[in-house]
Homo-oligomer: A and B are copies of this chain.
Amino acid sequence: MKQIYLDYAAATPIDPMVLKKMEPFFKRQFYNPSAVYLAGRAVRQALEDARASVAQNLGARPAEITFTAGATEANNLAVQGIMRAFPDSEVLVSAVEHESVLEPAKFFRHRQIPVSRQGIVDIAKLEKMISPRAVLVSVGLVNNEIGTVQPLRDIVKMLNRLRKLRGSQGLPLYLHSDAAQAPNYFDLHTARLGVDLLSINGGKIYGPKQSGALYIRGGVRLRPLILGGGQENGLRSGTENVASVIGLAAALDIAQEKRPAEAKRVAQLRQLFIETLQRTFPQAVVNGSPKHSAPHILSVTFPGIDNERLMMELDERGLQVATGSACNAGSDEPSHVLAAISLGAPAIRSSLRFSFGRQTSQNDIKYALKTLSQLLKN
């Protein structure tokens, strides 16, 4: 049976070119990059070349890149690292952040920033919520469940006003953004984005799982999560996962190179999906923002339909889709993202996430919608 994978927001296969670049570091160049003999130093050089490449794609300096085991660790390093560096301070996180931002925030003084029905952060409300002890604001670039893109530049403008008011005596006011879902389709130049910290994730950009990095703008103060030999400039100890880092760098490079063409192509697929869906099943509701959406994520509510059952039936017909974030798939808790955009429990239980990627074709979309409409008619 034909298999059509529509869950690229949950996982991507490794690009064969990425895997090819990783392979020497499993075998011939297995040396510890901290070893001082020549073969060790060659591995160190490859690692630092990868860091420079990631930095370049983010418009950053190599010293501003800390490699982590995935975006979850990067998000934890950002939130826990900063909150531990500034005791008794406060963190504000948007209500639609990934659990790896929300959960660490809960261990500190924290507030959740409300979002509109389209999932967009309310900047006026956010501004009012920022007290003098707020040190960190965390707003993801692309939401992983509904695809909404946040107005980071407007947030930065507002933060810059507040920073000016604080003056040099006040606390810093950092902006972190989880960009795990962004690199295939968005510019990640950190200065243009205006962020102080940015998390990226290899596992969503055709690189290895649990590869990731945190951009930490020079001067930002934070404490490491994982201590030891002092690797990653003291911010993430542990013998570097060389192959994984090489893979992340290659994956990011390819993603950014393919970005303009893929953003356009995948946005057309999403549009085709929406248009066909609205013809065949007009009751369906597309969640998120029509105007500010990532091209690859589409959240749809099918009123009256049980999403678990529909997902299983689609699976039986070769279509792999998600009921929400894979991270929550095992749990029975309703999606906090859909709840934050004011969907009620019945609507949440009737929602599916379709997400597209490099191997998704127009024919896949057509086949998916044919299958979907057959199931929905029964």
Contact = CB atoms under 8 A, between A and B. Distances in A.
B31 A11 contact: yes
Contact of A35 (B3, B11, B231): B11
Contacts of A308: 36
A265 B322 CA distance: 52
Interface residues of A, number: 70
A39 B320 contact: yes
Interface stretch (A270-278, A282-290, A325-333): A325-333
A10 B36 contact: no
Contact of A11 (B12, B30, B237, B238): B30
Copies of this chain present: 2
Given A208-B243, A210-B239, A243-B209, A228 B75 contact: yes
Contacts of A135: none
Contacts of A326: 32, 34-35, 40, 229, 239
Contacts of A107: 227
Interface-centre pick from A229, A320, A325, A328 (highest chain B CB count, 10 A): A229
A237 B35 contact: no
Nearest to A227: B103
A104 B230 CA distance: 12
B241 A69 contact: yes
Contacts of A266: none
B30 A12 contact: yes
Contacts of A27: 13-14, 16, 19
A11 B36 CA distance: 13
Contact of A14 (B30, B103, B244): B30
A327 B209 contact: no
Given A13-B30, A72-B226, A229-B325, A100 B238 contact: yes
Given A208-B243, A242-B209, A103 B32 contact: no
B100 A229 contact: yes
Contacts of A99: 227-230, 237
16 contacts: A3-B39, A11-B239, A34-B326, A35-B320, A36-B312, A40-B326, A69-B238, A72-B228, A72-B239, A98-B228, A99-B228, A100-B227, A203-B239, A209-B242, A209-B244, A210-B241
A26 interface: yes
A226 B236 CA distance: 13
Q: Is the interface of A mostly helix, strand, loop or mixed?
A: loop
Contacts of A31: 7, 10-11, 320
Given A26-B19, A39-B320, A70 B329 contact: no
Interface in A188-245: 203, 208-210, 225-231, 237-244
Interface in A18-50: 19, 26-28, 30-32, 34-40
A330 B243 contact: no
A175 interface: no
A293 interface: no
Given A70-B238, A323-B36, A327-B34, A76 B209 contact: no
A67 B222 CA distance: 26
B311 A76 contact: no
